[in-house]
Amino acid sequence: MDEFDFTTLPDQRQLHPLSLGHTLPHVVALLKAHWRKLAGLALIPILISFGLASAFTLIGLGTQASFFLLGVDLFLSVWFSVAVYRYWFVAEPGARRDYIPAWRGRELRFFFRALGLFFMISGVVVLCLMAFGGLTGAAGGLPAMGPGLVVGILAGLVVAVSFSFVLPAAALGPGYSYLRALQEAKGILLPFCGLLLVTILPVDLALSLVNFLLLSLERTLGLSVPGLAFAAVANYVSLTVAATVLSVVFARRTGWPLRVEGTAT
């Protein structure tokens, strides 16, 4: 299967419950069993990201080139996310070109789905901040701590899990709408949120802590290369965990088979 047309599915299909106790070990087992293959997929994007960031930093243009580097990282991150989803569901990379970052129709589709999800989450968070006064009294341009920020974060999390199925589906083929994502995620929001909080959140917090320590080392000793190298690796570790969690949840909820297991679990 290269591309699946989701419009061929019936409006209602059989859905399965989601158990945090079964899904978490499933995610961990997949990551432990396939981390070498996933690291191979990430190798070229990491080298490109680290190489460009290091080169611009060494010639003193790191700040000026920040938007260019951000664009490159976005391009690579979209390609890698799609590659991970397709690794779990479609096929293991075989030819050399499968490891070369490039955008095709599915990467564009994934980008626009992700962009739409980002705007929905951001809109809900901003509305909550406005409604509960979280935008007032902010220091340094950041939202003030208070009920508005807490409600905004929780509302953003609910929106994220409610519509997140559009991401793995976009990597697999056209025709999967935000409405269908909402319908198929409805009823599993609580265990889904719990799974995100015990997988993606701890990983990102740990990566952020290490990054903070490396930034402190850079300020103290003037060593920027370790921080740049870690930042490049950390981005793809985070993307790998997020894509794997979403893949497992999507497979368990919809019965879609994971390629690496032959049948859905």
8 A C-beta contact, residue 245 and residue 196: yes
pLDDT tier at 143, thresholds 50, 70, 90: low
pLDDT tens-digit readout, 186-213: 989 999 999 999 999 999 999 999 988 8
pLDDT tens-digit readout, 204-246: 999 999 988 888 877 777 677 788 888 899 999 999 999 999 9
Assign 3-state DSSP to the chain and report helix, strand, coil percentages, each to 5.
Answer: 70, 0, 30
Over residues 116-144, the mean pLDDT reads: 74
pTM of the model: 0.88
Map residue 27 onto helix, strand or coil: helix
Render 150-201 in DSSP notation, one character per residue: HHHHHHHHHHHHHHTTHHHHHHH-S---HHHHHHHHTT-HHHHHHHHHHTHH
Domain boundaries, the chain: 6-254
pLDDT tens-digit readout, 63-95: 778 889 899 999 999 999 999 999 999 888 777
When the pLDDT of each residue in the chain is averaged and rounded to a whole number, the result is 87
Cα torsion 124, 129, 132, 138 to 10°: value is: 170
pLDDT tier at 108, thresholds 50, 70, 90: very high
What is d(CA 248, CA 244) in angstroms, rounded to the nearest whole number? 6
Q: In 10 A of CB 253, how many CB atoms? A: 20
